[in-house]
């Protein structure tokens, strides 16, 4: 063998030794790992087996929703009008227990509920003692078919089949068996799972909650959830403003699946509807650990719920109450003939507004309704009562209805005539009773109808005081309809005000364009149309909130204002939403577009003359509302109005403001078919007494008693 071959063989020997060494090392490593695994397995199964088996039984974790409380609705002073009362509900989840354990748990649960007088679902159509079906024959045949029962089976036989089906063996008491069947039957209808619960009871008292919590091992799969329930703290007060919230409909849910569940409540009307996105809040989540037998072992919040924002209104709750009571009393007085003549009336509205800011201090619509009726779902009986009521209690007549203003419109005609030059402050027109300028239309003044003569010579202030139709016929005929319509729009009439409430009526201002739109079969404009428009008839139709803005603009010197019923929106962290954001949000929500109105720089002398006429209405003995204000302690500017309506009815208006020298508030009231405007002036007087503190009586202080008391009537 050559020397090179020997060298190769010598070099290969050490390499084989290295391989053997590596193999031995790997063998040792595998052996060690095996020992470790065996030790670990021994620890898991033997040493800590019981501990880990117990832990594994609590690995059944489900997520529960923490419902956020809706924000409150407050009045301007901070008084709570709507809030959320947190109530407890009993829920039940499916667990890995047999029928016998489930039946025992259900009976235990029912015993606690009945102990505290809490109702639970029971739609099982069989009664016992004696046995009988509780549904009609037609429904019974379908029910038997749905449940695979023989069509001739008796009530007792059907009951026994359900008892066997649910394997109820834990009691022989028939009444107890039926209670278990009722819950099991409800479960079969609604369904439940380990992640989807069935609600067994709502509004559980705290004592029952404590009993369920302290003995949780007796109640398989139960969970106590906390749900905010809407509470309207003042009954029917301000119901048309507040609106109501109720369970979301399938149509609403279809477009809101990302942020709502099928059981959520949602604002339906009023502030509850408009500010839903702020009031709602954000739900949180809670993790619940349960053993396989349904016992809760741990709970913890994974995401906190965030309460909804509070909405602060401009209304004053005390003034609102007085306004509603005064309106209701007035309507009842008119309908009973309390003013000497009876009118069949059952509805009306009133608005109280700050003349400088446009803030609505009170808004009433009669008849009213109770928003609490809708909490948890309104009953069929209540729903039918509301909907079948001819007075339409669910309608906010202050915002959603519009009416012909009658003579309360004459201040618009006066301003338009003065600004256009058709009349001036020295103009005097002779009311002869009948306006005879046109052969085919010769209307008369109301005074002629009652006394068969005219008012005689009047200037603009006197014409307003005496509400002379003839004067305003002539004024409108001189200036034409376009000027009159333009002035009406400046005062905000015939357009939505943008108040933060839904379904606001636009109304309309009489004009050739309006007639063409509303009366396409007779679109021509006649002189008679202008004359009727001048006294607030024809197609003039305005909501009470529009009228309140109109009177406020007159009283504040001609400055346009925007009515509002929301002062601010305050988030749960205390931060207030900017007015710009609120306005933008409301406009988008309600589809409100900016008004295009021609500016009118009203001459102050003209305004003074018109306001002087309004003062005479209440202060001069010949004024149409003098009898209502002759002994009043504050000077008031006002105007009565009686407007013809469909069905030979006459709607009664009164509009006013006070104090006359430095106006603060404007008040508008309408009573449907109220007959005479001066009847409704009583409402305004009562509201002003409350606002200006005129109905506060101070009892002389008794030095031996507590400090003096103020009695509010």
Domains of the chain in start order, with CATH, are 63-93+207-313 (3.90.1310.10), 95-191 (no CATH)
Q: Which pLDDT does position 39 carry in this prediction?
A: 54
CA 115 to chain CA mean position, Å: 36
Q: What is the DSSP string of 608-667?
A: HHHHHHHHHHHHSTTSTTHHHHTT-SS--EEEEEEEEETTTEEEEEEEEEE-SSS--EEE
CA 401/CA 541 separation, integer angstroms:
9
Q: Which pLDDT does position 703 carry in this prediction?
A: 35
CA 298/CA 300 separation, integer angstroms:
7
Over residues 556-583, mean pLDDT = 96
pTM (2 d.p.)? 0.82
Q: Which pLDDT does position 228 carry in this prediction?
A: 86
Over residues 601-618, mean pLDDT = 97
pLDDT over 90 at 42, yes or no: no
CA 325/CA 331 separation, integer angstroms:
10
- Please report, in angstroms and rounded to a whole number, the separation of the first and last CA atoms in the chain: 135
Window from 20-34, 397-411, 458-472 with minimum mean pLDDT: 20-34
CA 247/CA 486 separation, integer angstroms:
45
Q: Give which of 523, 514, 524, 492 is closest to 409, Cα–Cα.
A: 492
Over residues 455-460, mean pLDDT = 98
pLDDT over 80 at 292, yes or no: no
Task: Tell me phi and psi for residue 35, to 5 degrees.
Answer: -60, -45
Task: Give the pLDDT confidence of 641-650 residue by residue, as tens digits.
Answer: 999 999 899 9
CA 136 to chain CA mean position, Å: 39
| Token pair for 470 | 């003839």
Task: Give the pLDDT confidence of 110-147 residue by residue, as tens digits.
Answer: 999 999 999 999 999 999 999 999 999 999 999 999 99
Task: Tell me the pLDDT band of 41, cut-offs 50, 70 and 90.
Answer: low
| CA distance readout (Å), 98 to 84, 101, 166, 282 | 39, 6, 10, 38
Window from 48-52, 126-130, 164-168, 494-498 with minimum mean pLDDT: 48-52
Q: Are 133 and 151 in contact (CB under 8 A)?
A: no
Neighbours of 560 (CB within 10 A): 16
Burial (0-12, 13-18, 19+ Cβ within 10 Å), 710: exposed
Q: Give which of 115, 117, 63 is closest to 91, Cα–Cα.
A: 63
Q: Which pLDDT does position 189 carry in this prediction?
A: 92
Q: Give which of 283, 278, 243 is closest to 263, Cα–Cα.
A: 283
Task: Tell me the pLDDT band of 529, cut-offs 50, 70 and 90.
Answer: very high
Angle at 267 between CA 225 and CA 669, to 5 degrees: 140
pLDDT over 80 at 43, yes or no: no
Collapsed DSSP state (helix, strand, coil) of residue 600:
coil
Q: Are 84 and 309 in contact (CB under 8 A)?
A: no
């Amino acid at each position: 063998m050559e020397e090179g071959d020997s060298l190769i063989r010598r070099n290969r020997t050490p390499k084989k030794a290295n391989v053997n060494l590596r193999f031995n090392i790997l063998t040792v490593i595998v052996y060690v790992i095996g020992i470790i695994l065996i030790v670990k397995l021994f620890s898991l199964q033997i040493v800590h087996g019981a501990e880990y088996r117990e832990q594994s039984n609590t690995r059944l974790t489900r997520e529960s929703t923490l419902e956020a409380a809706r924000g409150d609705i407050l009045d301007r002073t901070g008084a709570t009008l709507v809030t959320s009362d947190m109530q407890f509900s009993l829920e039940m989840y499916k667990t890995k227990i047999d029928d016998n354990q489930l039946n025992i748990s259900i009976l235990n649960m029912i015993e606690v509920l009945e102990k505290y007088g809490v109702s639970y679902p029971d739609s099982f159509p069989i009664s016992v003692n004696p046995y009988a079906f509780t549904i009609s024959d037609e429904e019974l045949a379908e029910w038997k078919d749905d449940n695979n029962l023989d069509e001739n089976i008796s009530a007792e036989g059907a009951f026994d089949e359900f008892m066997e089906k649910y394997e109820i063996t834990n009691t022989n008491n028939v009444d107890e068996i039926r209670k278990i069947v009722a819950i099991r039957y409800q479960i079969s209808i609604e369904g439940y799972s380990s992640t989807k619960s069935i609600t067994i009871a709502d509004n559980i008292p705290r004592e029952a909650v404590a009993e369920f919590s302290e003995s949780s091992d007796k109640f398989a799969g139960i969970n106590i959830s906390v749900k905010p329930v809407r509470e309207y703290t003042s009954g029917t007060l301000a119901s048309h403003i507040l609106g109501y919230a109720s369970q979301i409909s399938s149509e609403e849910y279809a477009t809101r699946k990302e942020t709502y569940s099928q059981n959520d409540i949602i604002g339906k009307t009023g502030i509850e509807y408009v500010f839903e996105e702020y009031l709602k809040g954000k739900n949180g989540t809670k993790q619940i650990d349960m053993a396989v037998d349904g016992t809760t072992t741990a709970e913890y919040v994974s995401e906190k719920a965030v309460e909804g924002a509070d909405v602060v209104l401009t209304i004053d709750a005390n003034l609102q109450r007085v306004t509603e009571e005064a309106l209701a009393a007035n309507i009842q007085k008119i309908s009973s003939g309390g003013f000497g003549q009876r009118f069949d009336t059952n509805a009306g509205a009133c608005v109280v507004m700050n003349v400088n800011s446009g803030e609505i201090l009170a808004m009433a619509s009669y008849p009213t309704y109770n928003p609490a009726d809708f909490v948890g779902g309104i009953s069929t009986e209540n729903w039918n009562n509301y909907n079948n009521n001819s007075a339409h209690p669910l309608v906010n007549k202050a915002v959603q209805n519009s009416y012909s203003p009658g003579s309360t419109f004459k201040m618009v005609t006066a301003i338009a005539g003065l600004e256009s030059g058709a009349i001036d402050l020295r103009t005097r027109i002779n009311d002869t009773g009948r306006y005879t300028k046109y052969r085919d239309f010769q209307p008369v003044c109301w005074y002629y109808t009652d006394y068969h003569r005219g008012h005689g010579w009047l200037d603009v202030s006197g014409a307003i005081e005496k509400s002379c139709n003839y004067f305003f016929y002539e004024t409108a005929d001189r200036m034409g309809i376009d000027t009159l319509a333009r002035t009406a729009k400046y005062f905000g009439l015939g357009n939505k005000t943008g108040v933060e409430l839904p379904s606001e009526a636009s109304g309309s201002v009489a004009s050739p364009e309006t007639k063409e739109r509303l009366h396409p079969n007779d679109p021509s404009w006649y002189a008679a149309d202008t004359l009727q428009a001048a006294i607030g008839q024809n197609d003039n139709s305005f909501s009470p909130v529009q009228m309140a803005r109109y009177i406020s603009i007159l009283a504040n010197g001609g400055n346009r204002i925007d009515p509002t019923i929301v002062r601010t929106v305050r988030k749960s962290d205390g931060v207030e939403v900017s007015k710009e954001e609120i306005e933008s949000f409301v406009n988008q929500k309600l589809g409100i577009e900016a008004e295009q109105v021609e500016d009118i720089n009203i001459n102050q002398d003209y305004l003074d003359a018109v306001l002087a006429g309004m003062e005479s209405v209440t202060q001069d003995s010949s004024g149409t509302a003098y009898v209502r204000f002759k002994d009043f302690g504050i000077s008031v500017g006002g105007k009565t109005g009686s407007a013809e309506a469909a069905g030979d009815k006459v709607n009664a208006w009164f509009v006013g403001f006070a104090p006359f020298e430095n106006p603060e508030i404007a008040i508008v009231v309408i009573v449907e078919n109220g007959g005479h405007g001066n009847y409704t002036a009583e409402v305004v007087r009562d509201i002003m007494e409350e606002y200006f503190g005129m109905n506060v009586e101070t009892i002389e202080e008794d030095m031996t008693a507590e400090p003096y008391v103020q009695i509010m009537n």
